[in-house]
């Protein structure tokens, strides 16, 4: 029975779920009307009223009940008609006038005054004071009846009833107005809080600063001690956030950010039912007792893998209730800012990449141009070098035809012979270079004795050097390990160096040396010749570069020898360089890895790209 009564009261007082909010007051007025009808219906027999009037009032009450019932049914269906309250105001006025007409009540204008004062009091001070005023007035009315001996009439019941209901109604209206105003104030405060919080977001476009500002803004808006932004567990491509960003409003306070990060991760891992709509937050109780608010940063119409934002309030304090739409707007602004910053970052890195690619391209272009230039020069040089001996051969052979003298013929034949040797050397060198550069060189790899190699070279050159009255020494320091590689090519390198030494030395000694240095063998050819100026020391390793031509007129060579030597040595994993002083002689040195190391290098495939090794 009690429950039934409570249910009915609740049904009458609280409008249905989908009931328009602006008609809530109208709905409650229906309930108040029912209460007053019951009050009047029950109080009527007590009133000292003649039968006609009583009958009229019951009829009136029946009409009023139909009116109130109709309102109750129609209001949810046609809310528009009742939105402004014109109909109900008219109905209520007619009802009140009829009640007062049939029931009597306000014999003196003094009561109108009382009504005004009671309503004003209720509007100003609420239920308590209004109730006290009503009690006071009714008390005096009763006192008058008792003292003067006037019989209690319906007029008295009406007066008191109206006074009572007016007080309650006015107090209720006051309460509603106050609530609406405080809700409005609250929203205003939250909106300005939201503006202040999100103003921090616009300060920068840098990703790190934006996420830090987002955490700071969250902690500010929700009044939390700490806020964290955690990246999604499964990171999407191009997502620049790596580790959680923590903002603590009070660095000395009790910091729960580890627990908060864990809560965020749990929420990401789907351990709690994640809120579906943006701005809908998850309220969690952390092990430390603090309340945490966790919400995913996502936009309504897009599925973006964005970090989760969590805010924690210190234990004992709760994260304040913030309006759903304020939170939604906050989430939206934070999400957009983070997205913009990420976009900006991607753009910036793309533009850096582009700039780098452009620079690489410019370098490659430059390289291509210089390669092209080198090829052109190479071709020009080769044709020039080919033409010189060819011209000699042609002119001497033409002359040969016109001379009968055997001695002259022999002299010419010797020139023709040496020029064709030079031509052969040049063609061989050019072929070697072409093969090396196109990677078609055949390498006959084998292990060989370093000592033997040196001996063989010495045997070939000793008579030539003696012929030129030059001294020759072979200096072997310590035990020489075995080498591994193309023996003929290495021999070609030493011969070339000895040949150069011979060419550029007028007097003195030429020394062929070898020693072990670590995992390498260092081979050197030292002469006491003209030497190479420091500025030319790198240049002579380039193709067709000949320096010091003044001394020997046209040096007997192609200018390709050292370039080929350097490539051969590099192919074996070694280096070739010069140490020299102009006028005092030169030492050409090169290293070769000992056989064990060289075998490994060759086992791994092509030893070294030539340009890298050089
Ligand atoms: P070439 O076939 O002309 O000797 P190289 O490449 O062997 O070509 O040598 C290039 C140039 O380096 C030579 O023309 C010469 O100017 C210089 N050069 C080489 N070896 C020596 C040396 N031992 N003493 C002085 N200059 C040298």
Q: What is the pLDDT of residues 13-22, one digit of tens each?
A: 888 888 887 7
CA of 230 to the centre of ligand 1 (A): 68
The string of pLDDT tens digits covering residues 338-369 is: 888 888 888 988 999 999 999 999 999 998 99
206 and 183 within one domain: no
| Residue 558 Cβ < 6 Å to ligand 1 | yes
117 and 12 within one domain: yes
Please state the φ and ψ torsions of residue 287, each to the nearest 5 degrees: -55, -30
Q: Which of 47-61, 318-332, 338-352, 512-526 has the highest mean pLDDT?
A: 512-526
582 and 451 within one domain: yes
3-state secondary structure of 22: helix
Q: Looking at ligand 1, which residue's alpha carbon is closest to its atom 2?
A: 557
Which of 194, 225, 251 is the endpoint of a domain?
194
| Residue 40 Cβ < 6 Å to ligand 1 | no
Task: Determine the atom of ligand 1 nearest the C-alpha atom of 496.
Answer: 7
CA of 575 to the centre of ligand 1 (A): 17
CA of 529 to the centre of ligand 1 (A): 11
| Cα distance between residue 293 and residue 311, in whole Å | 5
213 and 174 within one domain: no
- Among 33-42, 235-244, 445-454, 467-476, the range scoring the smallest mean pLDDT is 235-244
Task: Determine the atom of ligand 1 nearest the C-alpha atom of 541.
Answer: 6
Mean pLDDT of 48-77: 88
- Tokens encoding 74: 């129609």
The string of pLDDT tens digits covering residues 20-47 is: 877 887 888 888 889 888 888 887 777 6
Distance from the Cα of residue 56 to its chain's centroid: 81
259 and 187 within one domain: no
- Tokens encoding 309: 């934002």
Q: Look up residue 235 and give its DSSP letter.
A: P
Q: Looking at ligand 1, which residue's alpha carbon is closest to its atom 14?
A: 546
214 and 78 within one domain: no
Residue 400 resides in a domain: no
CA-based nearest residue to 451, from 519, 499, 515, 525: 515
213 and 175 within one domain: no
> Considering the entire predicted model, what is its pTM?
0.46
Please report the DSSP string for 414-434 in residue order: HHHHHHHHHHHHHHHHHHHHH
Q: Looking at ligand 1, which residue's alpha carbon is closest to its atom 21?
A: 500
- Residues in Cβ contact with 348 at an 8 Å cutoff, skipping those fewer than 6 apart: none
Task: Determine the atom of ligand 1 nearest the C-alpha atom of 531.
Answer: 25
Q: Looking at ligand 1, which residue's alpha carbon is closest to its atom 11?
A: 546
State yes or no: pLDDT of 609 exceeds 50.
Answer: no
- How many angstroms separate the Cα of 392 from the Cα of each of 72, 396, 408, 417? 127, 6, 15, 10
The string of pLDDT tens digits covering residues 104-129 is: 655 655 666 677 778 878 888 889 88
pLDDT band (50, 70, 90) for residue 203: confident
Which pLDDT value is given to residue 260? Answer: 78
Burial 115-138 (b: 16+ CB within 10 A, else e): beebbebbeeebeeebbebbeebb
Mean pLDDT of 530-535: 93
pLDDT band (50, 70, 90) for residue 553: very low
Residue 276 resides in a domain: yes
| Residue 557 Cβ < 6 Å to ligand 1 | yes
Q: Looking at ligand 1, which residue's alpha carbon is closest to its atom 25?
A: 531
| Residue 585 Cβ < 6 Å to ligand 1 | no
| Cα distance between residue 198 and residue 208, in whole Å | 16
Task: Determine the atom of ligand 1 nearest the C-alpha atom of 563.
Answer: 6
pLDDT band (50, 70, 90) for residue 551: very low
CA-based nearest residue to 88, from 28, 161, 140, 142: 28
User: What order do you get walking across the sheet with 291-296 strand by strand?
Assistant: 245-248, 226-230, 308-313, 291-296, 282-285
| Residue 527 Cβ < 6 Å to ligand 1 | yes
CA of 346 to the centre of ligand 1 (A): 55
Percent of the chain with pLDDT over 90: 27
Task: Determine the atom of ligand 1 nearest the C-alpha atom of 429.
Answer: 2
Residue 608 structural domain: 441-613
- Tokens encoding 436: 């090396």
Residue 412 resides in a domain: no
Residue 469 Ramachandran class (φ > 0 left, ψ -120 to 50 alpha, else beta): left
Q: Which single residue is written with the structure tokens 């205003």? A: 188
CA-based nearest residue to 49, from 140, 141, 158: 158
| Residue 564 Cβ < 6 Å to ligand 1 | no
Residue 605 resides in a domain: yes
Q: Count H helices and E strands in the chain, helices first.
A: 17, 12
Which pLDDT value is given to residue 612? Answer: 41
222 and 170 within one domain: no
pLDDT band (50, 70, 90) for residue 494: very high
Residue 479 resides in a domain: yes
State yes or no: pLDDT of 484 exceeds 50.
Answer: yes
CA-based nearest residue to 104, from 57, 41, 68, 168: 57
3-state secondary structure of 529: coil
Residue from 557, 564, 578, 589 to probe ligand 1 pocket by mutation (most atoms less than 8 Å from CB): 557
Which of 155, 170, 194 is the endpoint of a domain?
194
Residue from 424, 493, 500, 538 to probe ligand 1 pocket by mutation (most atoms less than 8 Å from CB): 500
CA of 411 to the centre of ligand 1 (A): 28
Domain count, the chain: 3
Q: Looking at ligand 1, which residue's alpha carbon is closest to its atom 19?
A: 500
Residue from 543, 562, 577, 580 to probe ligand 1 pocket by mutation (most atoms less than 8 Å from CB): 562
| Residue 504 Cβ < 6 Å to ligand 1 | yes
Burial 379-403 (b: 16+ CB within 10 A, else e): eebbeebeeebeebbeebeeeeeee
| Cα distance between residue 580 and residue 565, in whole Å | 18
147 and 227 within one domain: no
Given 3-state DSSP classes, what are the helix, strand and coil percentages for the chain, each rounded to the nearest 5? Answer: 60, 10, 25
- Tokens encoding 333: 């602004």
Task: Determine the atom of ligand 1 nearest the C-alpha atom of 549.
Answer: 16
206 and 106 within one domain: no
Q: Look up residue 605 and give its DSSP letter.
A: S
Residue 374 resides in a domain: no
Which pLDDT value is given to residue 118? Answer: 80
CA of 434 to the centre of ligand 1 (A): 20
The string of pLDDT tens digits covering residues 425-448 is: 888 888 888 888 888 888 899 999
CA of 553 to the centre of ligand 1 (A): 13
State yes or no: pLDDT of 452 exceeds 90.
Answer: yes
State yes or no: pLDDT of 611 exceeds 50.
Answer: no
- The CATH number for 213's domain is 3.30.450
Residue 253 resides in a domain: yes
| Residue 451 Cβ < 6 Å to ligand 1 | no
Task: Determine the atom of ligand 1 nearest the C-alpha atom of 564.
Answer: 6
Mean pLDDT of 581-591: 94
CA of 588 to the centre of ligand 1 (A): 11
More confidently predicted of 13 and 453: 453
| Cα distance between residue 246 and residue 506, in whole Å | 80
- The CATH number for 521's domain is 3.30.565.10
187 and 225 within one domain: no
| Cα distance between residue 29 and residue 405, in whole Å | 147
Which pLDDT value is given to residue 272? Answer: 58
Q: Looking at ligand 1, which residue's alpha carbon is closest to its atom 13?
A: 546
| Residue 430 Cβ < 6 Å to ligand 1 | no
Which of 168, 194, 220 is the endpoint of a domain?
194
Mean pLDDT of 570-588: 94
- Could you tell me which residues are beta bridge partners of residue 473? 511
Mean of the per-residue pLDDT values of the chain = 82
271 and 123 within one domain: no
Mean pLDDT of 86-96: 81
Residue 358 resides in a domain: no
């Amino acid at each position: 029975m009690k429950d039934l009564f409570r249910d009915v009261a609740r049904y009458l007082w609280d409008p249905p779920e989908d009931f328009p909010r602006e008609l809530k007051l109208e709905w409650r007025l229906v309930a108040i009307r029912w209460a007053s009808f019951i009050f009047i219906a029950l109080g009527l027999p007590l009133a000292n009223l003649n039968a006609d009037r009583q009958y009229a009032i019951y009829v009136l009450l029946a009409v009023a009940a139909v009116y109130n019932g109709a309102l109750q049914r129609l209001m949810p269906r046609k809310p528009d008609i009742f939105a402004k309250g014109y109909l109900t105001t008219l109905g209520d006025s007619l009802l009140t006038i009829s009640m007062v007409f049939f029931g009597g009540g306000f014999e003196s204008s003094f009561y109108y005054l009382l009504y005004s004062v009671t309503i004003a009091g209720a509007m100003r001070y609420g239920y308590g004071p209004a109730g006290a005023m009503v009690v006071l007035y009714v008390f005096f009315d009763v006192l008058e009846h008792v003292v003067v001996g006037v019989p209690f009439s319906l007029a008295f019941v009406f007066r008191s009833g109206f006074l009572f209901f007016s007080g309650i109604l006015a107090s209720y209206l006051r309460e509603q107005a106050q609530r609406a105003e405080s809700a409005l104030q609250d929203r205003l405060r939250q909106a300005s809080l939201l503006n202040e919080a999100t103003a921090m977001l616009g300060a920068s476009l840098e990703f790190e600063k934006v996420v830090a500002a987002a955490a700071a803004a969250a902690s500010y808006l929700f009044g939390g001690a700490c806020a964290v932004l955690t990246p999604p567990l499964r990171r999407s491509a191009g997502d620049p956030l790596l580790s959680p960003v923590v903002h603590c409003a009070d660095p000395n306070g009790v910091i729960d950010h580890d627990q908060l990060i864990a809560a965020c991760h749990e929420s990401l891992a789907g351990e709690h039912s994640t809120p579906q709509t943006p701005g809908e937050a998850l309220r969690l109780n952390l092990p430390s007792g603090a309340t945490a608010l966790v919400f995913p940063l996502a936009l309504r119409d897009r599925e973006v893998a964005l970090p989760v934002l969590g805010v924690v309030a210190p234990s004992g304090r709760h994260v304040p209730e913030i309006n759903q739409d304020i939170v939604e707007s906050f989430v939206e602004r934070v999400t957009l800012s983070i997205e913009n910053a990420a976009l900006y970052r991607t753009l910036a890195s793309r533009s850096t990449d582009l700039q780098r690619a452009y620079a690489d391209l410019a370098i490659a272009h430059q390289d291509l141009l210089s390669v092209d230039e080198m090829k052109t020069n190479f071709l020009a040089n080769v044709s020039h070098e080919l033409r010189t001996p060819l011209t000699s051969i042609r002119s001497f052979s033409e002359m040969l035809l016109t001379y009968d003298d055997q001695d002259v013929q022999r002299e010419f034949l010797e020139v023709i012979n040496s020029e064709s040797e030079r031509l052969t050397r040049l063609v061989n060198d050019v072929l070697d270079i072409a093969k090396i550069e196109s990677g078609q060189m055949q390498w006959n790899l084998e292990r060989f004795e370093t000592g033997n190699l040196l001996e063989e070279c010495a045997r070939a050159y000793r008579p030539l050097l003696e012929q030129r009255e030059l001294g020759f020494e072979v200096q072997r320091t310590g035990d020489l390990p075995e080498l591994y590689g193309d023996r003929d090519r290495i021999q070609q390198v030493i011969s070339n160096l000895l040949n150069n030494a011979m060419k550029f030395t007028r007097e003195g000694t030429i020394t062929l040396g070898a020693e072990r240095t670590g995992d390498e063998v260092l081979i050197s050819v030292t002469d006491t010749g003209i030497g190479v100026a420091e500025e030319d020391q790198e240049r002579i390793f380039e193709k067709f570069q000949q320096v010091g031509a003044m001394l020997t007129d046209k040096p007997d060579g192609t200018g390709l020898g050292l370039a080929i030597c350097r490539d051969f040595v590099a192919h074996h994993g070694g280096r070739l360089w010069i140490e020299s002083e102009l006028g005092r002689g030169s030492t050409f040195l090169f290293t070769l890895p000992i056989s064990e190391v060289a075998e490994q290098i060759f086992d791994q495939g092509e030893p070294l790209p030539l340009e890298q090794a050089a």
